[in-house]
Amino acid sequence: MKYINADKTNAWVQLASLVPPGGNFDSLRRVHTPSACGEVVDFAGTLTAERVGRCEVPMAGGLSYNWAAKAADEGTIRALQALADEQELISKYRALLDGEIVNTGEKRRVLHHLLRGQLGKPVVEGAKDLGEFYKAELERFSVFAANVRSGAVRGASGKPFKNAVQIGIGGSDLGPRAMYLALDNWGQRNGKKKLSAFFISNVDPDDASGVLSPLHLDETLFVLVSKSGTTQETLANELFVKDKLVRAGLDPARHLVAVTSETSPLAHNPSYLDSFYIDDFIGGRYSSTSAVGGVILSLAFGPDVFKEFLSGAHEADALALEGNIWKNASLLDALLGVWERNFLGYPVTAVLPYSQALSRFPAHLQQLDMESNGKRVNRYGEELSYATGPVVFGESGTNGQHSFYQFLHQGTDIVPLQFVGFAESQRQDDVEVDGSLSQIKLNANLAAQIVAFAKGKDDPDRNKFFPGRRPSSLIRGKQLAPAALGSLLAHFENKVMFQGFVWNLNSFDQEGVQLGKILTKKVLSGNSGAGTGDEVLDAYSLLLGVIP
C-alpha cells in the first residue's frame, strides 16, 4: 500500500483539468455537461425534482445523503472515484480496521471502529484481544449503569442518584455532551431517561460552580474522564468537586467513577467507586462510542439505548467499506469535500442541523474535523503544497438563519453547507399555528434554504439580489433516534478519515494543541513572582494577573 501526497496522483491532475477558468463556482455554473443525475453542473438553473430524487445515497440508521445541490457532474464523480482508487482509500480503511499502525506521528493503532464491533481481523496487543477487551468494558459499565439506575448503587447518604456530571475536556466533553443532548428529548419521550446529565469542562471556576450550584450533591454521581489521568483542567475540576463533596459531609469515593487508561494514576484507585478503561488506540475526539461516552449515556438513558447507538455506528462503518463512490455516503461526502476545498477553493464549511437536539453537534464536528485534518505536513513531516481540512462552524436551524445566514447568502465568500433534517420531532409534542405544525414549519424552512442557496434571486435592487450557486448537501431521516445518531456520528468520523487519507495526513494525532499546554505549565511553575524568564510570556502573565 502506498501513502503519497494527493497532488502526486493522476486523478488530482485530472480533477484540476475539470476546474473551469477562474476556478470558482461563478464560472463552474456555466459548464453544461451531462451530470450523473441527468442534469447539468449548472444546478442553480436546472435543479429539478428528478435530480433531487436521483442524487441520494442510503446511509445506516434509516438516513440518506442527498447531494443534488452540489457542483458535481459525471466527469467530476468519475475523477473523484479515480482519486479514491488511486489513493487506495478503502484498503487504508481496511488496514486501520485490522489494527495496523496508521498514525506515524505517535506510531499507534487507531481502533475506535472496534468499539462498535469487529469489521477487520482480531486485533491483539501483547496477550490482550482488544476487541474482547472493549466488549468486556462495555458490559462492565453497562452493569454498573443498570445498578445505579435501579438504586442498587447509591451515594454516601444512601439516596439514589438522580444526576450524573461528566468532568472532562475536549473529546471527553464535546462528543458525549453533543450525544446526550441529541438523545435527551427522545429519552424523555420514550421513558428511557433516568438520570439527568451535566458537564463540566472549562478550568474556569465559574463553569464548575455554575453546574454544581443547583444540584443536590448527595444525589449526584460524577464521571471523571481523563485517558492519561494527568489532564490539567480535568484534575483541577475534580479537586473542585471533591472539595464541594467534603464540605457537604459526603465521601467523594462514594460519588466518583473514573474513565481512564489502565496505566494512568486513576486506574484501580480506591478513591473511585469504579474505573472503566480505554487505551491509547482511542483518540479523544473519536471516543464517544467508548466508555468516555458510554458511561454517561448509559447512566442517563440505559445500556440498551447506548447499544442501539453503537449498532447504528457499526452499520455505518460496514457501509463505508463499499468501494463504489455511488453507494458509500461517507466516501462520497469526503471526496466532494476535497473537490470543494482543493479545486473550487472554499476554505470553510458550515454544519446546519435543523434539529435543536443537535445544537452541540457542530461543536463536536469542529473538533473532529479541525483537530484531525488541520495539518500542514504529511505523514512523513514534509510540508504540503495544497490545502487540507476546512474551517468548520455551525448552528442549529432556524436559529442560524437569524444569525449568520446573511453572510452565507450574500457575503463575498461561498461556504459549502451541510444540512441535517428529520421528518418527525423527537417528543411528538406540537401545536398547529397558521395552518401547520411547528415541525412542518421547521422543515419548510430547511427546504426553502436549500433552494434559496442554490438558485438565489434576481432583483434590480442589488441589496435584494441573491447570487445563489451556494452548494449544499442534505442528510435526512425519519426521526433522530439512537441508531440514527450513531450512523450520523460514524458518517462524519469516516468522512474525516477518508479525507485525511486523501491528503496523506496523520489525522489521528493532535500535536497542534501541545505547545500551549507546555507554555501554560511554564507560566504556572513561575507564578510565585519570579516569572518564567520569557519577557513576552511574563508580560502577558502580568497583564492577566497570573504573576503577582
Residue 380 gets which letter from DSSP? T
* Mean predicted lDDT score pLDDT of the chain: 93
Q: CB neighbours (10 Å) of residue 146?
A: 17
pLDDT at 256 (0 to 100): 98
The DSSP code sequence of 382-430 is PBPSS--SPEEEE--TTGGGGTTHHHHHHSSS---EEEEEESS-SS---
pLDDT(29) > 60 = no
Active site residue 371: yes
Give the span between the Cα atoms of 415 and 472, in whole angstroms. 9
Q: Determine the CATH number of domain 125-310.
A: 3.40.50.10490
pLDDT(475) > 80 = yes
Q: Specify the fold of 6-110+321-508.
A: Rossmann fold (3.40.50)
pLDDT(24) > 70 = no
536 — phi, psi (to 5°)?
A: -70, -45
pLDDT at 46 (0 to 100): 62
In single-letter form, the type of residue at position 197 comes to: A
Active site residue 402: yes
**Grid coordinates belonging to 400:** 442560524
Note the pLDDT tens digit of each residue in 178-230.
Answer: 999 999 999 999 999 999 999 999 999 999 999 999 999 999 999 999 999 98
The DSSP code sequence of 439-503 is HHHHHHHHHHHHHHHHH-B--SSGGG-B-----EEEEEES---HHHHHHHHHHHHHHHHHHHHHH
Specify the higher pLDDT residue, 533 or 410: 410
| From 371, 395, 491, 495, active-site residue | 371
pLDDT(545) > 70 = yes
Q: What pTM, to 2 d.p., does this model score?
A: 0.95
pLDDT(30) > 80 = no
Ordered alpha helix ranges (H), 278-356: 291-301, 303-319, 329-338
| From 32, 128, 327, 402, active-site residue | 402
Domain boundaries, the chain: 6-110+321-508, 125-310, 512-543
| From 121, 327, 464, 517, active-site residue | 517
Give the span between the Cα atoms of 486 and 480, in whole angstroms. 10
What band does 73 get if pLDDT is binned at 50, 70 and 90?
A: confident
Active site residue 517: yes
Note the pLDDT tens digit of each residue in 350-407.
Answer: 999 999 999 999 999 999 999 999 999 999 999 999 999 999 999 999 999 999 999 9
What band does 41 get if pLDDT is binned at 50, 70 and 90?
A: very low
**Strands (DSSP E) along 143-211, which ranges?**
163-167, 196-200
